[in-house]
Amino acid sequence: MRFFVLLVLVLSLFGCNKSVVRNKSVYREELNFIDAASDETVVNGKALIASMCECSEIEGVKGFITVECQNLAETILVVEARVKYHTNMMRFNSGLIEERPSEDPPEVPETNTLCP
């Protein structure tokens, strides 16, 4: 009898698939929020770079003087280039949009493109 109870318990643990069902309109709004927040982050980050960061040119290559500005520029450019690509892929995978985004994510520009 104990074997039978143990067998039922083991089978019940492995036989059930766990899944999360999300309301499509709620999920759509979550993705819209991510897009809006990333847009605002890019605008504010670029304004901060323009007002607080300096670049210098060494051997014909322009770059940020401080590591903090370099890191901020990299973050801003990645967010600007890639967040919408990934949220659109999430929309496609969830059936919210019909057209699949490109196989390849967009290129991220060099950080010196943000040098003031």
At 102, is the pLDDT very low, low, confident or very high (cuts 50, 70, 90)?
very high
Residue 2 confidence (pLDDT): 65
DSSP 3-54: HHHHHHHHHHHHHPPP-----HHHHHHHHHHHHHHHHHHHHHHHHHHHHH--
What confidence tens digit (pLDDT) does each residue in 43-54 have?
A: 999 999 999 999
* Unique residue bearing structure tokens 């059936």: 95
pLDDT at 20 over 70: no
pLDDT at 11 over 70: no
Residue 18 confidence (pLDDT): 57
Q: pTM (2 decimals)? A: 0.76
